[in-house]
Amino acid sequence: MSQIKPVNAGLLGIGTVGGGTYTVLTRNAAEIARRAGREIRIAAVADRNIEHARTIVGADVRLTSDAFEVVRDPEIDIVIELIGGYTVAKDLVLAAIENGKHVVTANKALLAVHGNEIFAAAHRRDVMVAFEAAVAGGIPIIKALREGLSANRIQWVAGIINGTTNFILSEMRDKGLPFAEVLREAQRLGYAEADPTFDIEGVDAAHKATIISAIAFGIPMQFDKAYIEGISRLESIDIGYAEQLGYRIKLLGIARRRAQGVELRVHPTLVPAKCLLANVEGAMNAVLAQGDAVGATLYYGKGAGAEPTASAVIADLIDVTRLHTADPEHRVPHLAFQPGQLRDVPVLPIGETVTSYYLRMRVLDKSGVLADIARILADGDISIDAMIQKEAGEGESQTDIILLTHRTVEKNADAAIARIEALDTVQGKVTRLRLELL
């Protein structure tokens, strides 16, 4: 094997994941070469902080602060983009493709927003763009959906695909603490960024769910159509009530095939406590995929971190190395379906999606209130599955009613909630969370 010329990779960004990639690639070099059929080495690294980069890489690795220099280098076969973000990363990836280089990236934001353009460019230039590390870190979910389950008509995929929010929800449930307090703790422990918006508002999970939906159903990336709701307004009281009813609340990314189109949504979701996803705690990730032939399959592991993500980056490097010389027509298509076979299926607006609901309302403690609420739900063709009515405390005139509904179209639930909120006996807004039995 030693006579075969090594594959030269250029690494853009040697932060947490870049450093992990270099470390694992070096540590497992012999094993990786046995699998790939030739040595894979990082020949050049671009990073703004050259001094820091030099402390990680060996003396034989060329360092530069100009990433475009690496992208244009004729000696580089594969470009590994680990810079992140939409702007310079997009220019670098397109420039690498234009220069005939394969690309490995962990950049979910870039692919969710600009993936259609990037894959079309790669197809024109007969190069591969591999992105296993973009979704769920070290869990090989892209490979599972694209190759392992390719016999199946995939019906739905639901996943805990953001470790930060899962850590926060686990802590809120375990300790009964409010969201803001747990977020501060997550920042202190390094689970949450200084600006946690992308994580806690569901944007990061929506980037990943968009990529999953494209691969599962053979549709273009449509991030702008995803429904996104984060966990920042979630209250501890609802986590407690959900628990009493036999459910846990998780931030799920959901992609579901329906006759009229595709549901693509991210939001806090009640899942039955006995369900596997409900028991994924801390910063772990898990994805549940339902295929018509295989049934439900679960993928679980670390969704972030230096070496788990590096595991996925290097698996892509090995794949690209193996297929480097293959006729482009015989490679695995980027989005699982042949490029001419993608279907422009509509992503359904949230009002057209179908799910069950958890409703909590503060009501005056008097007779007939529950009957009025039940009548409004019945008018909207919404049936009640379970209920808790709290006893009013000593000297209190108000109490909580918590209802779980059977599945219904969201716009019917919206209309019913508006009518319930208009009742004189209902105080303030109804708290509504979606519920999935999976």
Dist CA 156 CA 254 (whole Å): 7
Q: Do the domain assignments include residue 119?
A: yes
Establish if 349 belongs to a structural domain: no
Has residue 346 been placed in a domain?
no
Same domain, 172 and 196: yes
User: Does 280 share its domain with 214?
Assistant: yes
Task: Quote the pLDDT of residue 3.
Answer: 67
Whether 153 and 230 share a structural domain: yes
Domain shared by 327 and 280, yes or no: no
Q: Are 157 and 272 contained in the same domain?
A: yes
Q: How much is the pLDDT for 297? A: 97
* 250: annotated active-site residue: no
Report the C-alpha gap between 211 and 142 in whole angstroms. 9
Residue pair 71/96 in contact by the 8 Å Cβ criterion: yes
Asked whether residue 241 is assigned to any structural domain, the reply reads: yes
pLDDT in tens, 84-98: 998 899 999 999 999
- pLDDT of amino acid 385: 97
Nearest alpha carbon to residue 227 among 263, 256, 261: 263
* Confidence (pLDDT) at 352: 98
Whether 367 is covered by a domain: the verdict is yes
Q: How many structural domains are present in the chain?
A: 3
- Is residue 157 one of the residues assigned to a domain? yes
> Which residues are CB-neighbours of 182 under 8 A, at least 6 positions away?
168, 171, 172, 175
- 128 and 147, same domain (yes or no): no
Query: What does the buried/exposed string (b/e) look like for 243-279 if buried means 16 or more CB atoms within 10 Å of the residue's CB?
Result: eebebbbbbbbbbbbeeebbbbbbbbbbbbeebebbe
Answer yes or no: do 359 and 391 share one domain.
Answer: yes
**Looking at the chain, how many residues does it have?**
438
- Domain containing 211 — which CATH number? 3.30.360.10
pLDDT per residue over 379-404, tens digit each? 999 999 999 998 888 889 999 999 99
**How many angstroms separate the CA atoms of 320 and 81, rounded?**
14
Torsion of CA 70, 74, 78, 84, to 10 degrees: 20
336 and 427 both lie in a single domain: no
**Domain membership flag for residue 348:** no
Tell me the longest C-alpha to C-alpha distance in the chain: 86
Question: Is 130 within the bounds of a domain?
Answer: yes
The pLDDT of residue 2 is 46
Range of the domain at 358: 354-435
Strands 261-272 and 426-435: parallel
Amino acid at 250: K
What is the value of pTM for the model shown?
A: 0.95
Question: What CATH number does the domain containing 383 carry?
Answer: 3.30.70.260
**pLDDT attached to residue 160:** 98
Distance CA 353, CA 404 (A): 17
95 and 30 within one domain: yes
147 and 100, same structural domain?
Answer: no
Name 427's bridge partners: 362
36 and 65 share a domain?
yes
Residues of the chain with pLDDT under 70: 1-3
Asked if 216 and 238 sit in the same domain, the reply is yes
What CATH number is attached to the domain comprising 332? 3.40.50.720
**Distance (Å, whole) CA 61 – CA 365:** 73
Active-site pick, 108, 208, 250, 302:
208
